[in-house]
Chain A
Amino acid sequence: MGETILQMQGIQKYFSGVHALKGVDFELKAGEVHALMGENGAGKSTLIKVLCGIHKRDGGSVTLFGQDVNFHNIAESQAAGISVIHQELNMMNHLTVAQNMFIGREPKKGIMIDDSRMIREAKALFDRIGVKIDPTVKLGELTVGKQQMVEIAKAVSRDCKLLVLDEPTAALTQPEVEELFKIMNDLRDKGIGMIYISHRMDEINRISDRVTVMRDGEYVGTVNTADVTKDDIVKMMVGRVIMGDKKAASTVPADAPVVLEVKNLNAGKAVKNVSFQLHRGEILGFAGLMGAGRTEVARALYGADPRQTGEIYINGKPVNIKTPEQAVKNGICYLSEDRKRYGLMLGKSVSENSAIASLDKFIKNGWIDDKEIAKVAAETNGLLRTKTPSMEQLLKNLSGGNQQKVIIARWLMKDCDIFIFDEPTRGIDVGAKSEMYTLMEDLAAKGKSVIMISSELAEIQRLSDRVIVMCEGRITGELDIADATQEEIMKYATMRD
């Protein structure tokens, strides 16, 4: 490890209603891989965004290569040698690999873009970091893993000194992860400092030199990876015990009736012959790796996407669900993993967002009773402890966890029987997370049935009565919670053809 290249001290950040960073410290040395860890919503991404100029900090100092800096946009931080590989890649799928790499700084020959030189340079770069990618193919044809390599190569070509990798392995296969780590080790030898964000403990142990842990927007501490165990880090991340233990046994009575049965569901390429049953009062966990087809099962079942085959029975009766409208009429509701795109009306009030699915209840003689809506919305959001100054507050001014609660309020007001939660705690803070757990348990206790899709094994183990594991579009395992150890779940989750 070389000298310190980055020093962040006492970083403060406020966002509409949330104190997102409460005096965070962070340090990075040249040739170091420094893991940044914390639960969803701990403030890791916010810290990175402050670093690279997407967000303006409200307090604290940033020193880069010994100089105080305050970047106003990504262009400035890039010029200073910082590159960020985001979780969601922001690239142009219709352009070729080389075009993506040189976007905005294309080599020119007169007034023409020098394509052959661009391709040559791209090839040289790939050779340098040791990956085999054809620079002339369209970026969209590459796997996510390869696309990430392209991003890294792009960063290297920009002469980057500080590379941020935000959950780069989330969508990678094991061989791709190995390739990534090889590249990271090379870069480390070249003296590049890397900030590595990941949730995967075993990776942290393998790749990182030091770990900084954040919780609830606060700086918890920095430790040498070699000095600590996995459990130490988890303790730092979680602080108080919010996960709780694994559920010991199913709490669903053996004679609980089947409320939902899905038979031979096929939809697109992502869902292959899926059949399962859901009982009254049950929390059914759907585990699996990213891209296993769990979201696609939910969307096909909900009528959001078309399906090729598949019968759906509710309380033993066959139902025809081709649109979300029909699903809702049959008492099913779906809370998407991607709230912003599929759930929120950001420009509308808490009240309007809460009532959109149950509007019919509030119509008297053809007139919408807005007072009644505000009253019921306030009651329901009060039960969920949604933090908002008023029911008229626009949703875009609430934090992620509170936005999620408003969507849950939407379905509570509709009084659905079957709740499909898709990654219900993604992007919400730790406190809200445990509330979300209590809420799902309450729903089940009241005789509602819950399908919970989650990529966090601990979450699956903590809540589910039964676990269905998917891999590559198929159900590869079904486990009673008593047998659902992490190893067992992972075994089925990686059971490829």
Chain B
Amino acid sequence: MKNKKPFKIQQNIIMLLASVVLLGAFSLVNPNLIKDKYMILSMIQNFAPYAIMGLGVTFVIATGGIDLSLGTVTIASAVLAGKLYTEGTIPLWATIPVMLVIGTLCGLLNGLMVAKLKIPAFIATLGTMMVSRGLSALIAGVPNIFFPTGTWYNKTFSSLSVGDVSAIPVGMFWVLGLMLICMYLMYKNKIGRYILAIGSNEEATRLSGINTDNYKIFAYTFAGLFCGIAAIFYSAAFPTISCATGNGMELDAIAGVYIGGTSSAGGVASVSGSVIGAALLVVIRSGLNMVLAKLGINLNSAYVTYVLTGIIVVVAILLDIIKTNNQNKVKIEKVEEAAKAEAPKA
């Protein structure tokens, strides 16, 4: 603990500081970014679904796996639940359990393919990504699905357009709550402990008498459930959902997880880092837009965002690798000192 904790916190603080510094820098260029409370709210609206997807997929990545279907499963859950609602089949409240169930089922499917059928995670979830996108659009049968605006639903999960109550960024609290649950599961519950063990050495974990298949299935199912949750926040914030969206969302969410310090090889996970990583990316996404507009630069901010995100992901992981190497050196030196100190006694 003594060796590990400060490191993790340190990495998080760096990322958090980076987000704040970036936000500050962007605001200097275009003060509207923080002066306009709607801007802040919009950032948090944007942030919530990505942070939630990131939280879920952190468990998958911790096993050493990957889930590429996050984005399309999130949109598919929202589209299908929205379709049922707009047709009058279910009331608004029922869209919530429907989204959760669809997300969970997709995750379960991923988990079964990976754990039981031994299909490589990249391929299994690539399949789910394509099928969920195509199938949900086919079932919807219309290009766009409309969720209501200005209802309790928006207030609870998004709350942009309703008077002064909207000044409270509710999405933030939801994300923090979910983060705490995930931290408990990852660090203080045996589920997380076993998932991290699987990521470290799956066969050793299995031979230690642990049903590794079940925990892998859990990880994917959990990520699916969180896609369902992300769908709720997404549909509350962006009531007009195009069946064509969702592509690339998973990569943004996964990038946030890597930036946050979770190892792509598995075995090491930072739950709070995933949230901070998502925050950093959202600051860049929203901030760049405003800055470019203010400076009158005629570039598509989405593309600039891609360039910047790509660089940040690689640099963040490079820093992590350098730091881990240095840390190992220090540790080995310490062990060697201890051994040398012990040598005369022997």
- A interface with B by C-beta (< 8 Å): 14, 16-19, 302, 304, 323-325, 327-329, 333-334, 336, 341-349, 352, 356-357, 359-360, 363, 366-368, 370, 374, 387, 389-390, 392-394, 397, 410, 414
Contacts and interface: CB of A to CB of B under 8 A. Distances in A.
Shortest 5 CB-CB distances between A and B: which pairs?
A328-B209, A345-B200, A17-B335, A357-B208, A16-B332
19 contacts: A14-B336, A16-B335, A18-B339, A324-B209, A328-B208, A341-B201, A341-B204, A342-B204, A345-B197, A347-B267, A347-B268, A352-B193, A357-B210, A359-B194, A363-B190, A368-B193, A370-B1, A397-B332, A397-B335
A390 B3 CA distance: 10
B188 A325 contact: no
Given A16-B331, A359-B194, 5 more contacts: A17-B335, A341-B204, A342-B207, A345-B205, A363-B190
B4 interface: yes
Contact of A347 (B200, B208, B335): B200
A356 B205 contact: yes
B204 A345 contact: yes
B334 interface: yes
B209 to A, nearest CB: 3
B338 interface: yes
Most buried by A among B3, B209, B268, B332: B209
B299 interface: no
B151 interface: no
B336 A341 contact: no
Most buried by B among A341, A348, A374, A410: A348
A364 B336 CA distance: 37
Contacts of A352: 193, 197
B261 to A, nearest CB: 14
B188 A368 contact: yes
B2 interface: yes
Interface string B1-29: 11110000000000000000000000000
A356 B202 CA distance: 12
Contacts of B201: 341, 344-346
Contacts of A302: 207
A347 B331 CA distance: 13
Nearest to A360: B190
B335 A348 contact: no
B200 A324 contact: no
Contact of A357 (B3, B196, B203, B209): B209
B325 interface: no
Nearest to B343: A19
Contact of A323 (B4, B211, B331, B332): B211
A390 B338 CA distance: 11
Contacts of B184: 367
A394 B211 contact: no
Most buried by B among A333, A342, A347, A389: A347
Nearest to B332: A16
Nearest to B2: A392
Interface in B183-237: 184, 187-190, 193-194, 196-197, 200-201, 203-211
B85 to A, nearest CB: 36
A352 B197 CA distance: 9
Given A324-B206, A341-B203, A19 B340 contact: yes
Nearest to B190: A359
Contacts of B336: 14, 16-17
Given A19-B343, A346-B200, A325 B211 contact: yes
A338 to B, nearest CB: 10
Given A16-B336, A17-B336, A18-B339, A368 B189 contact: yes
A210 to B, nearest CB: 30
Contacts of B187: 368
Nearest to B206: A324
B331 to A, nearest CB: 6
Contacts of A327: 209
A356 B189 contact: no
A367 B189 contact: yes
Contacts of B197: 345, 348, 352, 356
A321 to B, nearest CB: 11
A13 to B, nearest CB: 11
A374 B1 CA distance: 10
A356 B339 CA distance: 27
A352 B203 CA distance: 16
B153 to A, nearest CB: 32
Given A328-B209, A392-B3, A344 B204 contact: yes
A344 B3 CA distance: 20
Given A16-B336, A334-B207, A336-B207, A359 B193 contact: yes
A346 B4 CA distance: 15
Contacts of A356: 193-194, 197, 205, 208, 210
Contacts of B340: 19
Nearest to B266: A347
B268 A393 contact: no
B333 to A, nearest CB: 9
Contact of B339 (A19, A345, A390): A19
Contacts of B206: 304, 323-324
A325 B209 contact: yes
Most buried by B among A304, A336, A359: A359
B192 to A, nearest CB: 9
A342 B203 contact: yes
Contacts of B267: 345, 347-348
Given A346-B201, A347-B268, A360-B190, A324 B208 contact: yes
Nearest to B196: A348
Contacts of B342: 387
Most buried by A among B208, B332, B335: B208
Contacts of B335: 16-17, 389, 393, 397
A17 B200 contact: no
B209 A17 contact: no
Contacts of A389: 334-335, 338
Nearest to A351: B1
B147 to A, nearest CB: 36
Contacts of B339: 14, 17-19
Contacts of A323: 206, 211
Contacts of A342: 203-204, 207
Nearest to A416: B209
A122 to B, nearest CB: 35
Nearest to B3: A392
A394 B205 CA distance: 16
A397 to B, nearest CB: 5
Contacts of A334: 207
Contact of B200 (A304, A348, A410): A348
A397 B337 CA distance: 13
Nearest to B342: A387
Contacts of B204: 341-345
B211 to A, nearest CB: 5
A290 B204 CA distance: 23
Contacts of B208: 324, 328, 356-357, 410
A119 B212 CA distance: 46
Given A19-B340, A347-B268, A392-B4, A367 B188 contact: yes
Nearest to A328: B209
Interface in B308-346: 328, 331-332, 334-336, 338-340, 342-343
B207 A304 contact: yes
Nearest to B336: A14
